Amino acid sequence: MKKGFIFDLDGVIVDTAKYHYLAWKKLANHLGFEFTKEQNELFKGVSRKRCLEILLEIGKREATQEEFDTWMVEKNVDYLEFIENMDESEILPDVPKILEFLKNNNIPIALGSASKNAQPILEKVNLLHYFDTIVDGNNVTKAKPDPEVFLLAAKQLGVDANDCVVFEDAVAGIQAANAAKMISIGIGDKNVLSEAQFNFKDFTEISTDFIKNL
């Protein structure tokens, strides 16, 4: 079995994309334009700063540095309000089954997420105790598809990069895992995540035998 397992957060462990969407939509509406669920797909796995740049391109809005900074904060305040009451019921199907299996086999587990809110979310859904280390938007300087987030996670686990497996729902995340020379497992639409080495709709399709054989 591979020696380190790295999980993305949004779209892999929990579906926070719907809350990000509500917060970005609120900001877009405040700025006087629409923001659709289809457009929100572009934001998956993308840093908050880059999301705002894309949002302003969509709305054809210019921003001063001061406005940009204010809107970043406003979006996050709204997002934190939307996720305030998240609990275990929001964990995606069979995620605990895989985490439990890895834990029982003493396999190191890391989080590798672009989010700066990763730790409080894991606390809310009561999964924080499974993770040996957390690498998130607070620790990295280069966003996915750069492999930095996953390479740092491997380093913190004390495991060689090519002994790691990554679960990801975003194209940029799969590219980052491949660039880190890790096994990439796409969670979601296999047509979208075609660069992944393995594809599954969700964790209900992943058996413990599959994990053992990696």
10 is catalytic: yes
Residue 134, C-beta contacts closer than 8 angstroms, at least 6 positions apart: 110, 111, 113, 118, 119, 122
108 preceded by a cis bond (ω within 30 of 0): no
Q: How many residues bind ligand B16, per CB under 6 A?
A: 20
Q: Which stretch binds Mg ion (CB under 5 A): 38-46, 60-68, 135-143, 201-209?
A: 38-46
- What's the one-letter identity of residue 150? F
* 11, 96, 147, 188: which one binds Mg ion (CB under 5 A): 11
Residue 124 binds ligand B16 (CB under 6 A): no
25 binds, options Mg ion, ligand B16, none, Cβ within 5 to 8 A by partner type: none
The yes or no reply on residue 45 touching Mg ion (CB under 5 A) is yes
Contact 8, 166 (CB under 8 A): yes
Which of 59, 120, 137, 145 lies at the binding interface for ligand B16 (CB under 6 A)?
137
Residue 169 known to be catalytic = no
- Please report whether residue 136 would count as binding Mg ion according to CB under 5 A: no
Closest separation in Å from C-beta 137 to Mg ion? 12
Which residues within the stretch 36-95 sit at the binding site for ligand B16 (CB under 6 A)? 43-48, 51, 76
**What is the spatial distance between Cα 157 and Cα 134, in angstroms, rounded to a whole number?**
10
Q: How far is CA 38 from CA 21, 42, 44, 114, 187, in A?
A: 10, 8, 11, 20, 18
- Binds ligand B16 (CB under 6 A): choice among 6, 108, 115, 185: 115
DSSP H stretches of helix in 90-147? 95-104, 118-124
Binding segment toward ligand B16, per CB under 6 A, in 28-36, 112-120, 126-134, 176-184: 112-120
The set of residues, in sequence order, having a beta carbon less than 8 Å from that of 155 and lying 6+ positions away, is none
How many helices (H) and strands (E) the chain has is answered by: 9, 6
Tokens of 131: 């993770």
| Angstrom distance (rounded) from CA 73 to CA 68 | 9
CB of 55 to Mg ion, least distance (A): 18
**Residues annotated catalytic, as ranges:** 8, 10
- Residues at the interface with ligand B16 (CB under 6 A): 8-11, 20, 43-48, 51, 76, 113-117, 137, 170
- Residues at the interface with Mg ion (CB under 5 A): 8, 10-11, 45, 169-170
